[in-house]
Amino acid sequence: MNVDVQQILKNGVVVTDAALERLLPSANTLPHSIHRAMRHSTFAGGKRLRPILAMEAAKMVAGREVPGADELGAALEMVHTYSLIHDDLPALDNDDLRRGMPTCHVAFGEAIAILAGDALQTLAFQTLSQIAAQPATLIDIIREFSFAIGTGVGMDTGLPSGMIGGQVMDIEGEGQKPTAELVERIHRAKTGALITTSIVCGGILGLGDLLAQPDSSATLAASPKDVIAALRSFGENAGLAFQIVDDILDVTQSSEQLGKTAGKDTASDKATWPAVYGLEQSEKDAASYIADAFAALEPYGQSAAPLKALAQYLVERKH
């Protein structure tokens, strides 16, 4: 594909971090504790994959850098960070290491960690509402965004549930014999939903930008509905592959390599892909889902190459 994925990742981190720095309250803003906790977890060194996927999807559709894509990416990272803060709490996964640093509740206490997660989710929606785009575009983005991170009620996107719904299924599945149906539902919801919505929301923003340009009909490769459907299919398959690889890494890598506590899934009797299918089949399945993701974007040619390169990176990463 002749795409420098490392450069895409590097540039995406710089752009996303600049937006987050601009949008998050400073550590000196009162009340200090909550803002320091928000920044502690947000700037703990994440890969910024979801913002990068959103920005690249917007660029694929619009054919150029899209104004506001950095803010969309920042909002996605805020929600992702909030989910990690809450997922690490003693009431959920009870973890003390995230991205190689003490988890938020370890550093600031449970009460502030809970509120930091709440505040990040709230700031994400505030950020979305202020993106410089047409109102109809923002409504579509916020609708997609809110369905994907909730419990899935009212969703017509084909996803079994939203991120919070997936977290609930994950908790309730602990200690039970994992089934293929359960593990797929959890993965598509808990992790896959936010990855998919990152790509779809990027596409929606890109469409809004493209259709506002003169002669936009001449540059749109397919109908807006078909463009979003292709991006959704790509996101659902890539998101599932991402989580399968995460499951594999949890049992094959060390805590130092992962930046979080290794072996937690096995110790907690989590419903994971290797627990159902074994490691060898899990690796084959991740590759198969990435192939399906690639197929969804085949009609878009070279313009889809950066997204495909990122998807390939998701299954080849070691941490």
Closest CA to 193 of 83, 38, 41, 317: 83
Closest CA to 193 of 229, 146, 228: 146
Measured N-to-C along each axis, helices 224-252 and 279-296 cross at an angle, to the nearest 10 degrees, of 160
Ranges of H-type helices in the chain? 5-23, 32-42, 49-62, 69-87, 104-108, 110-129, 135-149, 163-172, 180-186, 192-211, 216-219, 224-252, 255-258, 264-267, 273-277, 279-296, 305-316
The reply to whether the predicted model has a pTM over 0.75 is: yes
pLDDT digits (tens, 9 = 90+) for 219-266: 666 788 999 999 999 999 999 999 999 899 888 865 554 454 545 555
pLDDT digits (tens, 9 = 90+) for 121-165: 999 999 999 999 999 999 999 999 999 999 876 555 454 479 999
Can you read off the two tokens belonging to residue 248? 């594999």
In the chain the domains, ranked by start, together with CATH numbers, are 5-316 (1.10.600.10)
Q: In the 8-state DSSP scheme, what is residue 300?
A: G
Can you read off the two tokens belonging to residue 290? 């990435």
